[in-house]
């Protein structure tokens, strides 16, 4: 690499400042939400100049995104494979719901979603970091279940993912009821009922778009 061979020039970026900024940002975000988070306050709390923040993050939103990602990236469990779809989904969703309960993360997630509505650059980044990875893990679990024959091969996966995550985000954002463990497992069970093979069934393949029923 040409860039590499030139060897880095100038004073290297301060890791200490970077971590202080991310920590201060997460802290203020949780206290006041994104709109209530001012760069001056973040800079002050991190013991850092505002210009240092703007040198590395173009906007408050980009900073917030990375701050939350950084704060969550600590100890993200790898994709579990428990042998059953129910187990896999629980392993995926329960820890997530539990973390969301520990702090008022809803106000941050809501602000991200709001920003994503009018800022497509941000939307891309938000999805890449917070939405797609979790969705992919769930999709993989569903794929394994189909391979095992646990669910029909023709299951509408996108719909299933929305049935799983939709209600969880709904409670996170609307706060009409707690995001309890019970709620998570109820969602998983309901979704499993909705997609499980409709036995006793006789369908081999009739016609249609995606349904692929396999009876034992």
Partner DNA sequence: CGGTAATCGAGACGGTACGTCATGTCTTACA
Partner DNA sequence: TGTAAGACATGACGTACCGTCTCGATTACCG
- Residues 188 and 91: their CA atoms lie apart, in Å, by 11
Q: Hey, which residues between 39 and 98 contact DNA (CB under 7 A)?
A: 39-41, 43-44, 46-52, 54-56, 58-60
Contact partner, 159, from a second copy, DNA, none, Cβ < 5-8 Å per class: a second copy
Task: Decide which of DNA, a second copy, none touches 157; Cβ closer than 5 to 8 Å per partner kind.
Answer: none
Q: Measured between alpha carbons, how far is 7 from 53 in angstroms, rounded to an integer?
A: 24
Burial classification of residue 9, based on how many CB atoms lie within 10 Å of its CB (0-12 exposed, 13-18 middle, 19 or more buried): exposed
CA distance 171 to 158: 20
Bond into 120 cis (ω within 30):
no
Residue 23 touching DNA (CB under 7 A): no
Binding residues for a second copy, rule: CB under 8 A, are 32-36, 104, 106-107, 110-111, 113-114, 116-118, 123, 127, 131, 135, 154, 156, 158-159, 162-163, 165-171, 173-177, 183, 186-187, 190-191, 193-195, 198-203, 206-209, 211, 213
Q: Which stretch binds DNA (CB under 7 A): 32-40, 104-112, 167-175, 178-186?
A: 32-40
Q: Minimal distance in Å, beta carbon 195 to a second copy?
A: 7
Q: Which does 55 bind (CB under 5 to 8 A by kind): a second copy, DNA, none?
A: DNA
CB of 19 or CB of 133, closer to a second copy = 133
How far is residue 66's CA from residue 125's CA, in Å, rounded to a whole number?
Answer: 10
Query: With CB cut-offs between 5 and 8 Å by kind, which of DNA, a second copy, none does residue 206 bind?
Result: a second copy
Run of H or E including 175: none
Q: Is 9 in the site for DNA (CB under 7 A)?
A: yes
Q: Using CA atoms, how far apart are residues 61 and 114, in angstroms rounded to an integer?
A: 11
Separation in Å, CA 142 to CA 63, 112, 122, 213 = 34, 27, 29, 15
Is the CB of residue 141 less than 8 Å from the CB of residue 89?
yes
User: What is the total count of residues that contact DNA (CB under 7 A)?
Assistant: 31
Residue 11 interacts with DNA (CB under 7 A)? yes
* Footprint of DNA (CB under 7 A): 7-14, 17-18, 20, 37-41, 43-44, 46-52, 54-56, 58-60
């Amino acid at each position: 690499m040409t860039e590499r061979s030139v060897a880095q020039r100038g004073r290297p970026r301060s890791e200490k400042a970077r971590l202080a900024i991310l920590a201060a940002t997460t802290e203020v975000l949780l206290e006041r939400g994104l709109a209530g988070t001012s760069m001056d306050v973040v800079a002050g709390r991190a013991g850092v100049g505002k210009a240092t923040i703007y040198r590395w993050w173009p906007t408050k939103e980009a900073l917030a995104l990375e701050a939350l990602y950084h704060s969550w990236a600590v100890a993200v469990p790898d994709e579990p494979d428990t042998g059953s779809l129910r187990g896999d989904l629980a392993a995926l969703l329960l820890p997530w719901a539990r973390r969301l309960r520990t702090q008022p993360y809803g106000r941050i997630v809501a602000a991200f979603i709001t920003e994503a509505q009018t800022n497509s650059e941000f939307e891309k980044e938000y999805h890449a970091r917070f939405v797609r990875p979790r969705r992919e893990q769930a999709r993989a679990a569903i794929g394994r279940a189909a391979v095992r024959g646990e669910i029909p091969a023709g299951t509408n996966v996108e719909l299933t993912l929305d049935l799983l995550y939709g209600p969880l985000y709904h409670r996170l954002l609307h706060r009409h009821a707690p995001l309890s463990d019970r709620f998570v497992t109820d969602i998983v069970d309901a979704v499993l009922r909705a997609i499980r093979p409709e036995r006793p069934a006789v369908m081999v393949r009739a016609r249609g778009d995606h349904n692929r029923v396999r009876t034992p």
